[in-house]
Chains A and B, each alone.
Chain A
Amino acid sequence: DQQVKQNSPSLSVQEGRISILNCDYTNSMFDYFLWYKKYPAEGPTFLISISSIKDKNEDGRFTVFLNKSAKHLSLHIVPSQPGDSAVYFCAATSGTYKYIFGTGTRLKVLA
């Protein structure tokens, strides 16, 4: 049973437009969520996180939205840049060290 799902394996967006990456979860005990970005042949790098006490967290061009009732979070990148092309993973935890990761969404930003 996959507790964290990223249903879109890939997404293409024009440079300068908004990228929206989605993530759904099933475990209502999850209370902390993270997004990681991964380039080929590199490990995932932390991008942004959100606690369940918030519904939005913003860091520069990156904003994460959390809808607890829908068990859904999304990552918005505005404006998208070619350097944002990577695989994005969402992860969730119930306040412990154990992250549950989604399968990732490959974002391609077209110049």
Chain B
Amino acid sequence: GAGVSQSPSNKVTEKGKDVELRCDPISGHTALYWYRQSLGQGLEFLIYFQGNSAPDKSGLPSDRFSAERTGGSVSTLTIQRTQQEDSAVYLCASSDRTSGPDTQYFGPGTRLTVL
């Protein structure tokens, strides 16, 4: 079946511009996660959705970052007034988690480059 998809695969933007990154989770998965991987670093947790609500936004680096999820499916991560330090690969994952640890299925990521 279809896995997690993300778009765009690559995004180059100028400092100060806003960007939107999209994630399409696996159909039926109620949990959705956003991570960021900067060069030479591990995956950094950003935000977790259960359905349309985000009980944990603790990983968002600043108020320039926001995310929403509609219809319990597609999610959008928005970065306003991008900075060069925002350059990273942004990964989305989904799972059918209801409680306890789960297996998260990752998309291919969006490579963001801020010039």
Contact = CB atoms under 8 A, between A and B. Distances in A.
A45 B101 contact: no
Given A43-B91, A44-B91, A93-B101, A98 B45 contact: yes
A96 interface: yes
Interface stretch (A10-18, A59-67, A71-79, A100-108): A100-108
B43 interface: yes
Contact of A103 (B33, B41, B97): B41
Contacts of B31: 97
Interface in A20-53: 32, 34, 36, 41-46, 49
A90 to B, nearest CB: 9
B48 interface: yes
How big is chain B's contact interface, by range?
20 to 34
A44 B101 contact: no
B71 interface: no
B57 to A, nearest CB: 12
Taking each of A42, A43, A102, which has the highest tally of chain B beta carbons within 10 Å of its own beta carbon? A43
Given A89-B43, A97-B97, A44 B106 contact: yes
Taking each of A2, A32, A95, A101, which has the highest tally of chain B beta carbons within 10 Å of its own beta carbon? A101
B20 interface: no
B112 interface: no
A99 B45 contact: yes
Interface of B: 4, 9, 31, 33, 35, 40-45, 48, 56, 91, 93, 95, 97, 100-109
Please provide the 9 A-B residue pairs with the shortest distance between their CB atoms, ordered closest to farther.
A43-B106, A101-B42, A101-B43, A32-B101, A103-B42, A44-B106, A46-B103, A43-B107, A43-B108
